Structure 1
Amino acid sequence: PSDIKNLVKQQQHLLETLWSILKSGGKLLYATCSILPEENDEQISHFIAQHDDVIVIPLSGSWGTIQQYGKQIFSGVANMDGFYYSLLEKRQLM
């Protein structure tokens, strides 16, 4: 869809805003109802490149296919819609 670029920008803004108020040691679960890489792993990859204080927490559990930075659930699997999630922790910088 033509609005993907705008959605990616909005998601980036949300990540930046939430990260700025997250305390060191805090965790943020980034999630989308999307199967598009630019909203998911690519978004997290870009975010990590901009921040030295990000730790990607490996996700346990059987839901989803492992991606580089999170897990992806594809439409139709277990009667679910497309979904992505990635768990980030803010580490304290020295």
Structure 2
Amino acid sequence: MALTRNAAETIAIETLTWLVGNEDLLPVFLGSTGASAADMRSAVDNPDFLGSVLDFIMMDDAWVIACCDAQRIPYERLAEARMGLPGGEQRHWT
């Protein structure tokens, strides 16, 4: 399913909101990206940053399941949203 850029950004912002509320996972994100809470607040409307949030969550199936269950969206929706943001295009190597 192809998502519009606006729909992809909305899902990414909702995912970021979920991440901020996750006391166990947020420090992992901040530590792995070097971002601060202030950086996150200023980058919330940056599609590249939103893509990095989705990339981070999609690193672990358990995180995807928890995030999608909390948002009541299908598990594949995060990947679909990622494809709608800069850098998320599918690459074809053939």
TM-score by length of 1: 0.30
Bigger strand share: 1
Bigger helix share: 2
TM-score by length of 2: 0.30
Larger RCO (alpha carbons 8 Å, 6+ apart): 2
